[in-house]
Amino acid sequence: MTVNDAQTLTLYSYYQNANGTIMETRYANSSVIGAKGTHTDTSVIAVVTDAAQRSPLGAVSYTIQGTVFRQIFYVNTIGQLKTTNTTGSNSWQTPFSILTSDSVASNSLALCTRADTASVHGLNGIRVYYASFKGYIQEVGINFGSTWRQEFSFYGSDPSAGVGCADGSSVSNIYVRNSTTAAVRRFYWTYSPDIWGWQNVTMNQTIKSGSDIAVCNDGAGTDHIFYQEEPGGNIKRALAYDAVMSDSETLEVASAGSKLDALYVATGSNPGALVMYQNATDPSTLWFSQIARTGTEVANGALL
């Protein structure tokens, strides 16, 4: 899971080590893409130690009154959805649970977060999407200065699969696996014009049972959606823009049930979407693939 600090041009990567501790590694943006061992890490620190093994992770970065916050979300051993945040190189705050009347479905990969402080997307706060033990993807949120509360319930979504989210210039998108058909189901909230509430449409692409979903937006109105295909375990990349979702491009094979994360890299000679996943032959290795909008895979290799 990755977030950017726009002020320092630093990328922060979050992952769970073999002991279950959630770790933070810092990279210079220019060194994100490259072979294992070539990164200019500035630090690797432990963030929290009470996460469940194979906990899903979510992370956001946002700015309030000129201060950049980094905030992560995870699941502990009793199914609580917990969060903690920090600024700069300061210590992380004591984690706390944000759910009072719900818990997270066991062994789920689903956890996605988005934040906005400019109200561009009708939001001045944080929204989190997770797999409820009630059997669907649930939204919970906070407006800055307020308290956490339950939001929308995505009925018909598969809680055993992942959830992806991204904000475009005038729309927010949530991607889930349809629990009946296994197809990609897109929920969208349009702000120009402002259409209140989540609308939805089912796409043609089919997601493998138990697959994670990761999404990034290119800043020009297109979402890059990554998931494992059904059948097989290849990672697929589809594009969504306006009401259109394109055919999928096929990338490498990820390990079964691999966590996925996506980040759009706009700089360099080969801009494109970067997807990170666990290697099929060695799940302890964090792998990446970068794909251009045209479908050409421009880079791949080990990160950790």
Alpha-carbon span 28 to 4, nearest angstrom: 10
Write out pLDDT tens, residues 8-24.
667 888 988 889 999 99
Distances (CA, A) of 218 to 168, 274, 291: 8, 11, 12
Alpha-carbon span 165 to 198, nearest angstrom: 13
Q: What is the pTM assigned to this prediction?
A: 0.90
Question: What does the domain layout of the chain look like in residue ranges?
Answer: 2-302
Alpha-carbon span 108 to 251, nearest angstrom: 23
Cis preceding-peptide flag for 231 (omega within 30 of 0): yes
CATH number, domain 2-302:
2.120.10.70
Phi and psi of 59, rounded to 5°? -150, 145
Mean pLDDT of all residues belonging to the chain:
86
Contacts 24+ apart (CB under 8 A), 155-158: 156/180, 156/185, 157/185, 158/182, 158/209
Write out pLDDT tens, residues 213-224.
999 998 888 899
Tell me the pLDDT band of 244, cut-offs 50, 70 and 90: low
Phi-psi region of 162 (alpha: psi -120 to 50; beta: other; left: phi over 0): beta
Alpha-carbon span 85 to 94, nearest angstrom: 8
Q: What is the mean pLDDT of residues 59-65?
A: 91
Write out pLDDT tens, residues 78-134.
999 999 999 988 999 999 999 888 999 988 999 999 998 766 556 789 999 999 999
Contact yes or no for 265/32 (Cβ under 8 A): yes
